[in-house]
Amino acid sequence: MIHSIKPNVTQDEALRMFRATGLSSWLWRMRTGPLQRIADAYVPFRLYRVRYALNKEKVQRILAMDAVDGSLDLFEFRTAPTGAELVEVQTRNELPSSLTEERGLEILRDKVLRIIFRQGFFKMREASLEIEALPGEIHLPYWLGFYGASDALRCRVMDAVRRRLEGAKASAFFEQWLAA
């Protein structure tokens, strides 16, 4: 059993999204072939409390980073998810955590610095960045759409919390897991 954030997309909604008739969906099907099936998958994420100063304002954020390799987009929460926001799921489609704590902190630090620089490097008055790992691990749900022929399936990914289709980075992430 794993603890997962409640998905905001049902299987039927995901199927409709993967079968959509828009231009990007049409281009995807033309490149890869027809939709064959969909499946849910759960990625482990670690929670961190991040603090820094920006333009005399103290900023505190709760960020979640994937515990597989740190390559997926960060999630931000107002507060650490609790029982009401989580569900218990029994699944075989759970990716294993393989990122060490030390490497995870390095990757998160780089990602947070990029966020700060995008908000305005010159607004940063003091060079203090505090990252605190919060206990536990949560899983985030994704829907995977498999397209193409059975011998050469391609994967399209939908974030089941943010209700959006992900890009090539997420597709490669899940295709690598499936190939392993």
Per-residue pLDDT at 175: 92
H-assigned helices in 19-167: 23-32, 101-120
Q: 87, 71, 78: which is closest to 47 by C-alpha?
A: 78
Q: pLDDT per position in the chain (180 positions), as tens?
A: 999 999 999 999 999 999 888 888 888 888 888 889 999 999 999 999 999 877 777 889 999 999 999 999 999 999 999 888 999 999 999 999 999 999 999 999 999 988 888 876 665 555 678 999 999 899 999 999 999 877 788 899 999 999 999 999 999 999 999 888
Contact predicate 154/162, CB 8 Å:
no
Contact 161, 7 (CB under 8 A): yes
The two three-digit tokens of residue 35, written as one number: 């939709």
How far does Cα 164 stand from its chain's mean position? Answer: 11
Q: What pLDDT, on a 0 to 100 scale, did the predictor assign at position 23?
A: 83
Residue pair 103/73 in contact by the 8 Å Cβ criterion? no
Per the structure, the count of domains in the chain is: 1
- Determine the structural domain holding residue 117 and report its residue range: 2-179
